[in-house]
Amino acid sequence: MKGKKQKEPVGFNPAEIFAALALLEKERGIPQSFMMEKIVQALTTAYKRDHADVENVIVDVDEAHQNLKMFVQKNVVEEEDYVDPANEMPIEEAKRLSAKYEVGDIVNIPVDTVEFGRIAAGNGKQVIIQGLREAERGQVYDEFNSKQHEILTGVVTRVDPRNGNVSLRIGTGTDSTEALLMAGEQVPGEDLTEGMHVKVYVVEVRRSTRGPQVLISRTHPGLVKRLFELEVPEIYDGTVEVKSIAREAGSRTKMAVWSNDENVDPIGACVGPKGQRVGSIVEELRGEKIDIVKYSEDPAQFIAAALAPADVVDVWMADEGKACRVIVPDDQLSRRRTEMAAGLTTRKSPLPGAPRRPRTRRKRLLWSPWTRSKISLSERRPMRCRK
């Protein structure tokens, strides 16, 4: 006569677990295998917490029948070597279970169904929930990590009156996360208020126990580059290239462009009909002025263009093109103009992935430790230009 099947305790139904995992995979994209691994780990950890002497515990996952079973593994030993009941079984006892067992074999002893159900519904519950949260955080991290060096739109949720830092909610639903726009990464003079939609540049995404940390900026030169990619089809499709950008956020940006098609004017493409393209970007940057110059492989020509609207009288190139001296009229000497030109003409452009150029306090000489590039202005008026 068959014995009565033990009643599974309330709160534990393996079929419900499988159904929940299937729903998570369908709605949130979290793989069932990933979550089942977390659940198995939770169950074994909980059992060992109650049975500290037990060394080996396994959980059998039967996907076909949507069932879970737990086993304690014991080593088969000789009778005289039997000293650890929690992890060993004498050969005589093993033979009573099955004649096939020999010394050295492993016997799987089923854990009582009621106890297993109690563990699954009780002790392992919090770990399972934690596993779900970790999976969700991992999904969110992967989503935002793919957006590094891109533009995202966030909604201002809070402005800290003490330090000026602004909290933004980026994304929607379960795929959203909080990001902090530090005061130093905001455009000077920009007034951000709760509920405002703001475009930000994703500098970096880091993992943390609270979820992904998205480092964002409104001052990074990459923001300007991405805005032009969105606004100018010729840049997006590669016809026009952004060679370098120098930016003083909130005041002025200079951008050097080049056309891979001789029939396309790179500056005209960026400006757009009646200035509409560049105008929309200026509006997004709250009135920041944008100068667009044509890139040249000739260093002297490029430097002269970068210093516009100053009238460049002479350019000396030195140190194999890594340094130069530029002559301009006395009344056109400008520290800001020189800094912008140095930032624009450097060999390594300050775009995504490149270190930002430190500001110099010297009025007529700029120096970059990364590129050894320098531009100096002189008040002398030479008689000729040379390279």
Dump pLDDT digits (tens) for 163-184. Answer: 999 999 987 665 677 889 999 9
| Cα 45 versus chain centre, distance | 32
- Determine the pLDDT at residue 364: 33
- List the one residue out of 75, 77, 78, 97 whose CA is nearest residue 87: 75
Same fold, 14-141 and 148-214: no
- Determine the pLDDT at residue 333: 73
Amino acid identity of residue 160, one-letter, is D
- Determine the pLDDT at residue 179: 87
Query: Quick one: what percent of the chain has pLDDT higher than 90?
Result: 43
**Is this structure's pTM higher than 0.85?**
no
CATH 3.20.20.70 fits 220-295, yes or no: no
Distance CA 5, CA 220 (A): 67
- Determine the pLDDT at residue 9: 46
C-beta of residue 293 within 8 angstroms of C-beta of residue 278: no
Dihedral angle sign, alpha carbons of residues 312, 318, 322, 325: negative
- Determine the pLDDT at residue 166: 94
pLDDT (average), residues 267-276: 95
Q: Identify the weakest region by mean pLDDT among 141-155, 229-243, 271-285.
A: 141-155
Mean pLDDT of the chain: 80
- List the one residue out of 359, 295, 364, 352 whose CA is nearest residue 325: 364
The structural domains of the chain, with segments of one domain joined by +, span 14-141, 148-214, 220-295, 303-387
pLDDT (average), residues 172-200: 86
pLDDT at residue 326 is higher than 70: yes
Amino acid identity of residue 5, one-letter, is K
pLDDT (average), residues 377-381: 41
What is the per-residue pLDDT across 311-320, written as a single tens digit (0 to 9) for each? Answer: 887 787 777 6
- 203: buried, middle or exposed (CB in 10 Å: 19+, 13-18, 0-12)? middle
Q: Which CATH code, of 3.30.1480.10, 3.10.20.740, 3.90.600.10, 3.40.50.150, is assigned to 14-141?
A: 3.30.1480.10
Distance CA 15, CA 21 (A): 10
- Determine the pLDDT at residue 113: 76
pLDDT category of residue 280 using cuts at 50, 70 and 90: very high
- Determine the pLDDT at residue 175: 64
- Determine the pLDDT at residue 123: 58
pLDDT category of residue 290 using cuts at 50, 70 and 90: very high
- Determine the pLDDT at residue 89: 94
Kindly compute the dihedral angle of the four CA atoms of residues 94, 97, 102, 106, in this order, to the nearest 10 degrees. Answer: -80
Distance CA 232, CA 222 (A): 15
- List the one residue out of 299, 296, 315, 298 whose CA is nearest residue 243: 296
pLDDT at residue 363 is higher than 60: no
- Determine the pLDDT at residue 304: 86
pLDDT category of residue 20 using cuts at 50, 70 and 90: confident
Q: Which CATH class is domain 303-387?
A: alpha beta
- Determine the pLDDT at residue 238: 93
Q: Which CATH code, of 2.40.160.40, 2.40.160.20, 1.20.1370.20, 2.40.50.140, is assigned to 148-214?
A: 2.40.50.140
pLDDT category of residue 338 using cuts at 50, 70 and 90: confident
Q: Identify the weakest region by mean pLDDT among 110-124, 129-143, 281-295, 347-361.
A: 347-361
Instruction: Report which of residues 302 and 175 the model is more confident about.
Output: 302
123-127, 136-140, 145-149, range with greatest mean pLDDT? 145-149
Q: How many CB atoms lie within 10 A of CB 309?
A: 7
What is the per-residue pLDDT across 38-77, written as a single tens digit (0 to 9) for each? Answer: 888 888 888 888 888 999 999 999 998 898 889 999 999 9
Distance CA 235, CA 242 (A): 7
Instruction: Report which of residues 156 and 170 the model is more confident about.
Output: 156
Distance CA 197, CA 92 (A): 75
What is the per-residue pLDDT across 100-132, written as a single tens digit (0 to 9) for each? Answer: 999 999 999 998 878 787 777 665 566 667 767
